[in-house]
Amino acid sequence: MKSRFVVEGLGGKKTLRGRIAVKGAKNAALKALAASVLFDDAVAIENLPDIEDVKRMQELLAGGLPVLKKEIAERLRASIVLTGPALARYGTVTFPFPGGCVLGERPIDLFLEGFKKLGAKVEEKDELFTITGPSTPLGTSKLKGARIFFPSVSVTATETLMMAAVLAEGETVLENAAMEPEIGTLARYLNACGAYIEGADTPTLKIRGTGGKLLHSGGLPYVTPPDRIETGSFVILAALAGEEVTITGCEPKHVDALLSLVRRAGVVLEVGADFITIKRSPTSLTSVSVRTHEYPGFPTDLQAPMAVFLTQCNGEATILETIFDGRFRYADDLIRMGADITVMNPHKILIQGPTPLSRKELESPDLRGGLAYLIAAAVAEGTSTIDNAYLIDRGYEHIEDRLQTLGLNIRREEI
């Protein structure tokens, strides 16, 4: 059964009040689930978000490895991270080209080249990839440590090859690695369970492989960190439509790039160790230009919500997208709502504001764009609908129930 969200817009009024808690990070939870393949015992995962992407990853694990179920993996971009642990443990893995949100070209060359450097062979047949580790005289298959330089920074490639190297023989060095906090969290947990990973939170990771010895949790749980993208999305919503909103259970330092920008724009913030309070600004907001960048820069996953924010700011600003192609597909719908947005090229848009937004019937273009539509609908005049709620459910747990607690009139309808 398909569903949609119906949002009664506030017409630019700032009336939302209360507290909203951040759930566990989608991207951290998915990688912890994948990492469980490296263990000889059960892995307990705490603060696991109740979202569709997590359910799909659990289905992939339940379906048995090392052959990933095609119909699920094709719908889940994060399925690619399972290839590293599966290859390391079983010596082979078969998978389709991973799916998920359509964000321009998202090639898997970094993964395939990395596996080759670890000694594996890559075959492609009938739209399936099969990766096989090197054979040994005993008939087993173990990856061999190697030095791998990423020509472009990739979170999923860093995580996938880090996990593959954990059970390999010898030392693997990953250079120009991603530094997202979810990677460091995972590395430290794996280390606590028998892995040897140095350099967490830096661009160089050194992994001394166990030579095939599986990790052991011994009951130590993996604690999913708070979702920084959800945190940032709530900051933006509160800045546009809040009287006084406190975001709890978050890690403010993980959204420093966003907080610095909205402060410059005139948003009034109180930041604590694990909370952010956004208060109504006494003055109108001022436009600030944005450039997405790998962590600790401004996250590409907050780019669409930030575009909505800028439609309500005084002046002219640009958003430069440096990570993905095809991430401005939401612009046309915001323009239909009344936004003044010019798409300069596939990587740059110009926004002039403020412009009032009005109700529209919308359809989520992707996970993050869908949440941006919810924010736009909250700001707009009149009642808006956002179809394809599933895309938003992929990354945000029971979002309508949680936003209702702040005073937003939002409901889910089956269609």
Give the model's confidence band at 301: pLDDT under 50 very low, under 70 low, under 90 confident, else very high: very high
Indicate if 313 belongs to the active site: no
Residue 104 has pLDDT above 60, yes or no: no
Virtual torsion, Cα 341, 345, 348, 351, nearest 10 deg: -10
Same domain assignment for residues 133 and 114 = yes
Same domain assignment for residues 34 and 16 = no
> Which of 223, 243, 260 lies at the terminal end of a domain, its last residue?
223
Q: Quick: pLDDT tens for 268-287.
A: 999 999 999 999 998 999 99
Per-residue pLDDT, averaged over 217-233, amounts to 98
Same domain assignment for residues 387 and 255 = yes
Number of folded domains that form the chain = 2
385: CATH: 3.65.10.10
Residue 391 has pLDDT above 70, yes or no: yes
State the amino acid at position 305 in one-letter form: P
More confident residue, 105 or 252: 252
Same domain assignment for residues 164 and 203 = yes
Same domain assignment for residues 199 and 56 = yes
Same domain assignment for residues 199 and 87 = yes
Q: Quick: pLDDT tens for 137-170.
A: 544 568 999 999 999 999 999 999 999 999 999 9
> Which of 175, 191, 223 lies at the terminal end of a domain, its last residue?
223
Same domain assignment for residues 86 and 191 = yes
Same domain assignment for residues 333 and 377 = yes
Q: Quick: pLDDT tens for 166-199.
A: 999 999 999 999 999 999 999 999 999 999 999 9
pLDDT of residue 326: 83
Same domain assignment for residues 16 and 135 = no
Same domain assignment for residues 8 and 136 = no
Ranges of H-type helices in 290-349:
303-311, 331-337
DSSP-assigned beta bridge partners for residue 21: 248
Residue 331 has pLDDT above 70, yes or no: yes
Closest CA to 323 of 343, 349, 361, 297: 297
Same domain assignment for residues 190 and 235 = no
Residue 226 has pLDDT above 70, yes or no: yes
Which listed residue (101, 193, 250, 313) is catalytic?
A: 101
More confident residue, 100 or 88: 88
Same domain assignment for residues 288 and 305 = yes
Structure tokens at 163: 């996990």
Residue 102 has pLDDT above 50, yes or no: no
Q: Which domain holds residue 326?
A: 3-23+226-414
Nearest-angstrom CA–CA distance, 133 and 87? 7
pLDDT of residue 64: 81
337 to each of 14, 31, 139, how far by Cα in Å? 19, 37, 63
Yes or no: say if 93 and 83 are a contact pair by the CB < 8 Å rule. yes
> Which of 223, 246, 273 lies at the terminal end of a domain, its last residue?
223
DSSP-assigned beta bridge partners for residue 363: 387
Mean pLDDT of the chain: 94
